Amino acid sequence: MKYYIIVGEASGDLYGSRLITEIKSLDKNAKIRFWGGDKMILSGGTIVKHIRELAFMGFYEVIMNLNKIFSNISLCKRDIIEFNPDKIIYIDYPGFNLRICDWAKKKGFKNYYYISPQIWAWKEGRIKNIKKSIDKLFVIFPFEKKYYSEKHKMETFYFGHPLIEVINSYKSNTSFFKKNNIPSNKPIVAFLPGSRIQEIKTMLPIFLSIISNYPDYNFIIAGVNNVDPKLYDLGAHPNLFIVYNKTYDLLTNSFAAIVTSGTASLECSLFKVPQIVCYKTSFLSFFVGKLFVKIRHISLVNIILEKDIIKELIQDDLNKKNLSYEFNKLCREEKRSKIIQEYSKIYDLLSVKDTTKKIASSIFS
């Protein structure tokens, strides 16, 4: 069969790569074409567009890039028609994917949505189109299955969170410090500023502002290679380092983390790294978001556990003074122990055996 997969962000590239591997193990004649990143390229198939050209953060940023977005939508539709896939798989990236999904259903294509749109957080009105256009919906949190199945009476599939099996398969790099020329004589604080250009431009300078206050720690940026390296060139500090595409090696060796809201927050919890979650965008994007977002928290840890476990610094609250204050609190053993204790509950909630294999089997059947 022919499969067309659409991914728009780094986390989707990770999940998409594993899905491709499982699909190919089930369907020896699989032909796969996709929008994705480096991990999906390694798993096999033909890439149409790389995620480095797709990720825009916030309402204002989307408005400023509308021409590019509409051009990509047109390209995607033309490419699907030409490839004529048996099944289209959408991974997260709802602003783009739901438009393609609605169009594809009208054209008679089969639609499979993996990592459902977070309409429980905002834009609940999308449920009408989701019900009409999606043949199978796969969710990655238990509360999402309840939300879709009970509230909206939509058949939904939950096979656990794929990040669990990714981390379970990870093997620690014992030579992390030596290979990256990083001294091992100080505790490490990981900076995870995100994978999108706008995130890094906005968040990283604020993260770096606190370094001079803490000479007894080494700070390491988790860099990604799908952006211009100059984004990370923000001044020299004797205790600042950067590693590229080694986030799990970094978290394995980290004392604490300062994180841009997103999948990274969940990753920190699974590696049992105490964290502060941060988020800042343009005034217009934040204002629009405040009007429509229905949830109290932005970090996946707090959302999953439904309580305040880790500190969230959002918009104007994210500044050098507040970040330093919260980091000081995070260094206290009592605070750290409480956070790590709560983390263990997340693993138990999300762990299901053979998550990606079950999803691939459901799509293939």
Write down the pLDDT at residue 74: 96
Dist CA 72 CA 53 (whole Å): 9
Hey, what are 342's tokens? Answer: 């709560």
CB 205 within 8 A of CB 232: no
Q: List the structure tokens of 280.
A: 């800042």
Domain assignment present for 164 = no
Residues 6+ apart with CB under 8 A from 321: none
CA 261 to CA 320: how far, in whole Å? 17
Residue 119 tokens, joined? 């309409």
Q: Give start and end residues of each alpha helix (H) in the chain.
A: 10-26, 38-43, 59-64, 66-83, 94-106, 127-133, 142-146, 162-168, 176-179, 197-208, 247-252, 263-270, 283-292, 300-305, 320-330, 333-350, 355-364
Amino acid 165: pLDDT: 93
- pLDDT score recorded for residue 304: 92
The residues, ordered by sequence, that sit 6+ positions from 244 with a Cβ below 8 Å of its Cβ are: 223, 224, 225
338 and 194: one domain? yes
The Cα 272–Cα 339 span in angstroms is 8
Cα separation values, 207 from 202, 304, 313, Å: 10, 25, 12
Q: Which range marks the domain in which residue 82 is found?
A: 2-158
| Dist CA 169 CA 238 (whole Å) | 34
- The verdict on 115 and 246 lying in the same domain is no
The helix/strand/coil state of 282 is coil
Nearest to residue 294, comparing CAs of 126, 98, 79, 112?
A: 126
Whether residue 151 lies inside any domain: the answer is yes
139: helix, strand or coil: strand
Beta bridge partners of 139: 158
Q: Is 184 exposed, middle or buried (0-12, 13-18, 19+ CB in 10 A)?
A: exposed
Is 104 within 8 Å of 80 (Cβ atoms)?
yes
The tally of domains found in the chain comes to 2
Same structural domain, 82 and 198: no
Length, in residues, of the chain: 365
Q: Residues 144, 203: one domain?
A: no
182 with 152, same domain?
no
Pair of tokens at residue 96: 């783009």
Q: What is the pLDDT of residue 14?
A: 92
Asked if the structure places residue 225 within a domain, the reply is yes
Q: State the pLDDT at residue 332.
A: 96
Check residue 65 and give its pLDDT. Answer: 67
pLDDT score, position 289? 57
Q: Is residue 359 part of a domain?
A: no
Domain of residue 275, CATH code: 3.40.50.2000
**What pTM does this model have?**
0.84
List per-block mean pLDDT (blocks of 10 residues) for the chain, which spans 365 residues: 95 94 97 96 95 67 71 96 98 93 97 90 83 96 92 94 92 88 94 90 95 96 87 86 94 97 92 96 60 70 92 95 98 96 93 95 95
CA distances from 109 to 80, 102, 104, 346 (A): 9, 10, 5, 36
DSSP state of 25: H
Q: Token match 């429509």: residue?
A: 292
Residue 291 domain flag: yes
Residues 63 and 169: their CA atoms lie apart, in Å, by 40
